[in-house]
Amino acid sequence: MSFLVTKLDEPLAGLDKIGVDPASIPIFQKKGQFIGLLIYDVPVIAANVIKQEMLAAGGDAAVHRSAITHKIEKTNVLTLGTLAQHDKVIRKLAMMPYWGLDLISQAMKECLYSEMPKEMPLPNGKKLVFDRTLIMGIVNVTPDSFYAASRVQKDQLLDYVAKMVQNGVDIVDIGGESTRPGSDRVPLDEELNRVLPAIELVKANFDVIISVDTYKSKVAEEALKLGVHIVNDISALRFDGKMLEVVLKYKPAVILMHMKGEPKTMQQNPYYEDVVKEILEFFVERISLLKKYGLDDRVIIDPGIGFGKRFEDNIEILKRLDQFKSLKVPLLIGHSRKSFIGHALGGIPAEERLFGTLAVTAYCVMKKVNILRVHDVAENLQIVKMISQLI
């Protein structure tokens, strides 16, 4: 007698091969879903309590090697265990109103159980539905964007956007100022003269969601008057003090991007102790600001690949995408043909970075990123459709 035994990378995927009672599936999911929560800057005495409670529940927690001797004041904590074990610890910590343990309990519960909205309302009756990874197509009405093939002249615009729409683009992102490393700012009138006619032309010919890529409040407001649905601000509403007023007035979706410095200087020796932690803290502050005005349901975050980041920072951001998903707001990644791909592939130019871009796209779809901002709509959308059948 012999038995066939196979190993499952996703253990719960085997439930449909067993014939279990459907009512038991949530129970197995709690017992079988392994969870790791990274909790930052925990007082060392609280960290030791969390570790002991995780051990008592049958899991474990990793803390700094000096936590047990209290030679440090704070430590990050990585909890390791099933969902059921975490539930036990969350309940225990909730009853401990000291050293911040009850607050940690609440934060753990929110991280595990709060959900990102499945759709986002937009002006003019439109909405974004996050049932798959969406593709945002880049339309640069600029003479100097880093990828020459993405620069669109006015007489080419209709054909350029028509091709995107025919290929199934979800969002068209129109920008009138290059924000490549080392770029200079474009005067307001010049950006308006580039962007507004392009928006009018697209609106008149296509029923598609439109985003305006700008950090200037006047450009955003005039674009919103024309019916734009999303403001894509590389400064996360920081460069122009009136941008928040515009957003509050028109209530578009807002893409908040992280950037260290500004495009002219952002690649001059950027440095991070922990790039993901710093970006997360930045987003928490920005989201809290919009929450005060009741607009947190319109927020999309973009970690800003290539904006004040070294090669290793960009790679680290991508490796740790799950942490950005923990904020429970839609996540956008703009990686298309960027220099980190060229660096990884031996220094190839933007014109040769399509395959590298598609590799990152596939990875992001598997990580359930909500929106991908790309130059090559048809190719990227094929990746999205194929990977979506496999996950």
Q: Is 30 a catalytic residue?
A: no
How many whole angstroms separate alpha carbon 367 and alpha carbon 354?
20
Catalytic residue among 194, 216, 325, 338, which?
338
| 299-302 and 74-82 beta bridge pairing | unpaired
Rg (CA), the chain: 23
Catalytic residue among 51, 325, 337, 373, which?
373
* Cα-based torsion angle of the residue sequence 51, 52, 55, 60 in order, rounded to the nearest 10 degrees: 10
Q: Please, are residues 260 and 314 in contact by the beta-carbon 8 Å criterion?
A: no
Q: Specify whether the backbone of 63 is left (phi greater than 0), alpha (psi in -120 to 50) or beta.
A: beta
Q: Is 51 a catalytic residue?
A: no
Q: Please, are residues 342 and 349 in contact by the beta-carbon 8 Å criterion?
A: yes
Q: Please, are residues 336 and 324 in contact by the beta-carbon 8 Å criterion?
A: no
Letter for the amino acid at 121? P
- Note the Cα 362 to chain centre separation in Å: 15
Catalytic residues: 338, 373
